[in-house]
Chains A and B, each alone.
Chain A
Amino acid sequence: MTNPSNSAATSVAIALAGSGGAGIMTAGNMLLEAAASAGYYALMTRSSGPQIRGGEAAAMLRIATHPVECMPAGFDLLAAVDWENVHRFGAEIPLGAGGLVLGDEAEGAPPAVFTASGAAIAALPLAAIARGIPGGRPNMVLLGLVGALLGLPEDAMHEAVSRTLGKRPAALEPSLAALAAGRSAAGSLQPFTPLAPPPGSAAGRWLITGNEAAGLGALQGGVRFVAAYPITPATEMLEWLSPSLESVGGVLVQAEDELASINMAIGASYGGVPSLTATSGPGLALMLESLGLAVASETPIVVVDIMRVGPSTGIPTKSEQGDLDIALHGLHGDAPHLVLAPNGVGDALATTQWAVTLAESLQCPAIVLSDQFLGQARAVIDRPAAGASPAARDVAAAAAEGDAPYRRYALTDSGISPMAIPGTAGVTYTADGLEHGERGTPSSQFTDHAAQLDKRLRKLADHDYGERWADLEGEGDLAVITFGSCTGPLREALALAYERGLAVRLVSLRLLAPAQPARLAAALAGVRKALVLEQNHSGQLLRHLKSSFDLPVPLASLRKPGGQQFNAAEILRHVVEWSAA
């Protein structure tokens, strides 16, 4: 929209901001819902100050005529009810040169960090307008104004507000009045390029967060037991799962810590119920010993890690792909397990579901690496395609007296041995984290250790993971390899590159462990060099590719630490430079 000569924009980025308690998130969600029901694609992320409550808040939205998976390099509109501490979002809300900064005239000039780009400034008496409406609030005036600037239909705005406040008539009437007042006030502003008409109706689309999608994927995969300890930014996934699990006949237990979470999940899974825990980096670190237990005892379990900035407490509210190392290599001993990563909000559903299916069928732990961006982003997406088939564990049948003794850890060709579920007669056994023989009896003999290591490796190495291991897009003799939330901006960057005549392949790895070197090498056939894109400081994916893949192409690295997502323009710039180098 930044080009004023265009009569309509196919993508607009808006930030709503203000101090805590001003209702910024409420307004942001209403704007998102209005855009969604009007037939647009949209994405909303949020940021807030370090205070738990009452800090400055920003809702960042991108509304477009096509699916969007990332924020652009520059925002078109920053609209704030006040400027208290809002300057702290300077790095997160870069204004384009054609952008507009809109505030309350009583609040004074906007922070210079937003206007330095040359963005236009406009001010209206938001609070004064709100005061003229009994019970009216500035955030609703601002919402009406922004909706009008964008050209969103009045009925869609009205409906979004009504849906949120419908159960509170005392708040609804003044909010609708403030919304209308804001809409009227928009006429006094300079022209703002509105959105192009929507690409069809909203029917068939979903509005969902990555955390909700992961939770739904877990249930679709068959998970019926979750134990977890609250942690940002995984908590919302748990809060969605708690009532949802109950409604599908499952249960969520709030554990006393992450050590308990994972062991409760292991206990439930041992009992035959597909189980999961969700956490973030600090919790994953605590769970590592017990992940090894799940490997050794061959107990299926899924751990969803909504990655945040580390190490230690880091920045709990911001995204980073910094847990790849620990997810791949954090277990002691030789402990083959699964590591998967969703690469979009909607894909969190399919990937989590796949993780459950794989863990159940391979009788091992699966770590799902989502992140704060994917988890907390709320997006309009096309209805996700059907996921992997539901979990199917190879279960041992009851045995009668006189049958050969049950061998829980039998050395089968596939490495998978039927697992007895408590309650089944004749096949009782003790699952063990101690090395053991085929019957599960503890053994300190080399031969048993080597045989069980081979078995546990074989079942993962020999499995056919099908086509889901990666998303492969595009053609050309260049490729960018990435995973997780870097995929969205990369996809957009490579589309722009293609428009400029530069064809680059996209490889987004969904299955990070066990590594699939042959598949990746095949995917890179004809590629002369590859760029590895990731969001962490040290290049964890790059190291993984170098150590576990032995690829036939030279690798370069594009990375930056968490705290600020990559955008497409930034990636495009690097890809263009790298392609010419």
Chain B
Amino acid sequence: MIDMTLTPAHYKSDVKPVWCPGCGDFGVLNALAKALAKLALRPEDVAVVSGIGCSSRIPAYTSAYGFHGVHGRALAVGTGLKVARPDLTVVVTGGDGDGYSIGGNHFLHACRRNVDLTYIVMDNRVYGMTKGQPSPTTEADWTSKLMPQGTGLGEIKPMAIALAAGANFIARGFTGDPNGLADLIVSAVEHPGFSFVEVLSPCVTFRPEQREWKKMVRGHALAPAADSVEAATRIFADDGMNLGVLYAGTRRPFAPPIGRAQRTPTDLERRFAL
């Protein structure tokens, strides 16, 4: 249902975010509200699903339907919801720890399954809610109480993983550019299949150096690659600061038919009758 009178303010709830002042996630909330307004979706036709972490608190801050589940399983909840209710617009949200560590397996299979939903990961390269531990995207030499010497592990490249696993739309945005981010979210929602939007979302509390990201990012540096091979070449050469759409594929979304009954359960009893 299209309603042209909806403004971004319609998509925010009256719940006050728990986020620290200056948190990048405010930018994602604003961009999401703008995108939904642009898409003119009624709040009740949108579901925002999340797991656990600072960024995963976002569903309650929207006026859409929300589901705030357990750590790492947001994509599974979103997948079930979208398959059962293809009429809804499903946006799954979360952070880098939720999506790439505890939920890593679901990320792989959501890319591969290609259900028509949008996955927004607010990547701040740290576990903020538990007060500063390294995540899979944290630099190897970043020190913390838990890993005083740093992890010594290379950070993963989520966009490369998404590409290899079969995601149909892959983009990167930045919370310091809410209009650009809103446009990316609009494109992601509109693109059929599984759309992955990596958002650079600074943690001003545990990663204050990320305030510098606004000077480092390059807007519109990524344009959709012609094919996945070209996209792979680009993403492996990428320093993580290029914004835009990396890849927009044409894979058919996973959308098994639901609601088209040819029989009743009582009909099925006949096969057991002697």
Using a CB–CB distance below 8 Å, which chain A residues touch chain B?
Answer: 36-37, 202-208, 212, 216, 219-220, 224-225, 227, 244, 246-251, 253, 255-257, 259-273, 275, 289-290, 292-293, 297, 380, 383, 420, 422-434, 440-442
Contact = CB atoms under 8 A, between A and B. Distances in A.
Contacts of A434: 68
B91 to A, nearest CB: 12
B258 A253 contact: no
A267 B49 contact: yes
B77 A264 contact: yes
- B70, B88, B265 pick with most chain A CB within 10 angstroms: B265
Given A293-B70, A423-B44, A442-B60, A227 B273 contact: no
Interface stretch (B19-27, B105-113, B142-150, B155-163): B105-113
B149 to A, nearest CB: 31
A250 B83 CA distance: 10
A430 B257 contact: no
B63 interface: yes
Contacts of B76: 227, 255, 259-264, 267
Nearest to A201: B274
B44 to A, nearest CB: 5
A425 to B, nearest CB: 5
B263 interface: yes
10 contacts: A224-B259, A249-B259, A260-B109, A265-B80, A267-B84, A271-B88, A273-B85, A428-B65, A431-B66, A440-B60
A426 B211 CA distance: 39
B127 interface: no
A380 B84 contact: no
Interface in B186-243: none
Interface in B33-79: 42-45, 47-49, 57, 59-60, 63-70, 72-73, 76-79
Contacts, number: 190
Given A267-B77, A423-B44, A430-B68, A251 B258 contact: yes
How many of chain B's residues touch chain A, expressed as a range?
35 or more
B106 A260 contact: yes
A426 B44 contact: yes
Given A207-B272, A251-B83, A268-B81, A263 B73 contact: yes
A249 B265 contact: no
Given A219-B268, A248-B263, A428-B44, A267 B64 contact: no
A266 B260 contact: no
A250 B80 CA distance: 12
A216 B268 contact: yes
Contacts of A260: 73, 76, 79, 105-106, 109
Contacts of B81: 267-268, 270-271, 422
A443 to B, nearest CB: 11
Contacts of B78: 267
B15 interface: yes
Contact of B274 (A205, A219, A264, A441): A205
Interface of B: 15, 42-45, 47-49, 57, 59-60, 63-70, 72-73, 76-85, 87-88, 105-106, 108-109, 256-269, 272-274
Contacts of A442: 57, 60, 68
Nearest to A243: B268
Contacts of A202: 274
Given A247-B268, A257-B105, A441 B88 contact: no
Contacts of B60: 430, 432, 440-442
A389 to B, nearest CB: 13
Given A259-B76, A263-B77, A253 B83 contact: yes
Contacts of B72: 259
A500 B47 CA distance: 65
A248 B274 contact: no
A179 B108 CA distance: 52
A289 B52 CA distance: 13
Q: Report the 10 A-B pairs with minimum CB-CB distance, sorted nearest first.
A: A430-B66, A267-B80, A249-B261, A264-B80, A263-B76, A268-B84, A267-B77, A267-B81, A202-B274, A271-B85
B80 A275 contact: yes
A125 to B, nearest CB: 35
Contact of A256 (B44, B63, B69, B106): B106
A206 B271 CA distance: 9
